[in-house]
Amino acid sequence: MKPTLSIALLLVAATPAFAADPEGCDKFKWPMDKEIALLTAPSLPKLAAGAETPAAPVAVTMKLSPIAEAVLPKPPERQQKPGSYAGFVRANVTSAGLYVVTISEYGWIDVIQNDAYLKVNSFSGVTGCAGVRKSVRYNLPAGPVTIQVSGAAKETINLAVSPASH
């Protein structure tokens, strides 16, 4: 075998296989009927960075800024691509429990309370589901939280926050 071909085969064998996100609304890890209905409703309220959302369950269109100009309460936990967009909203959790934060497009979600990142309970993402791309579950204590979205490709993104019902 030629050395060049051997090296190429070794590189291919050593490259980890990255699983693509499943395709279709029915491929989320949990039922998403409520979140899909929230995110695809016509005329979602538009919120500027830092605005407070209405009480959950709620869906809004968030205005995002270029990542280089975005003023966020905390740096995103994930490294951001140049040219991406970011923003945040505030929410008041009236009752502690398991909540679902869902976005319409690809992006990174951080939820912050008392200046600390909250740990993700579980997450799910799919392609090919009109209006819904990623959903993350958090055990949220009662009180104010900040929801940051970063790494988005556009200046706006739809965001839904709702108590988990499943």
pLDDT digits (tens, 9 = 90+) for 84-112: 999 999 999 999 999 999 999 999 999 99
Kindly indicate the confidence band of residue 18, based on its pLDDT and cuts at 50, 70 and 90: very low
Give me the pLDDT at residue 166, please: 62
Per-residue pLDDT tens over the stretch 41-82: 999 999 998 999 988 899 999 999 999 999 999 999 999 889
CATH number, residue 80: 2.60.120
Rounded CA-CA distance 166/97 in Å is: 12
Rounded CA-CA distance 124/135 in Å is: 5
Please say whether the beta carbons of 61 and 44 come within 8 A. yes
Give me the pLDDT at residue 3, please: 52
Task: Decide if 7 is inside a domain.
Answer: no
Whether the per-residue pLDDT at 5 is higher than 60: the answer is no
Element (H, E) at 82: none
Task: Decide if 103 is inside a domain.
Answer: yes
Task: Decide if 9 is inside a domain.
Answer: no
Distances (CA, A) of 141 to 59, 79, 95: 20, 27, 7
Q: Which residue has the higher pLDDT, 151 or 15?
A: 151
Whether the per-residue pLDDT at 17 is higher than 90: the answer is no
Q: Where are the beta strands (DSSP E) in the chain?
A: 46-47, 58-63, 65-66, 85-93, 97-103, 108-113, 116-117, 120-125, 134-140, 143-152, 156-163
Rounded CA-CA distance 112/25 in Å is: 28
What is the token pair recorded at 5? 């071909």
Question: How many distinct structural domains can be found in the chain?
Answer: 1
For the segment 15-39, the average pLDDT, to the nearest whole number, is 79
Task: Decide if 8 is inside a domain.
Answer: no
Kindly indicate the confidence band of residue 13, based on its pLDDT and cuts at 50, 70 and 90: very low
Task: Decide if 111 is inside a domain.
Answer: yes
pTM of the model: 0.84
Sign of CA pseudo-dihedral 36, 20, 166, 149: negative
Task: Decide if 47 is inside a domain.
Answer: yes
For the segment 114-132, the average pLDDT, to the nearest whole number, is 94
Please say whether the beta carbons of 49 and 88 come within 8 A. yes
Give the distance, in angstroms, between the CA of residue 66 and the centroid of all CA atoms in the same chain: 17
Task: Decide if 149 is inside a domain.
Answer: yes
For residue 90, the enclosing domain spans 31-163
Task: Decide if 85 is inside a domain.
Answer: yes
What pairs with residue 52 in β-bridges?
A: 90
Whether the per-residue pLDDT at 32 is higher than 60: the answer is yes
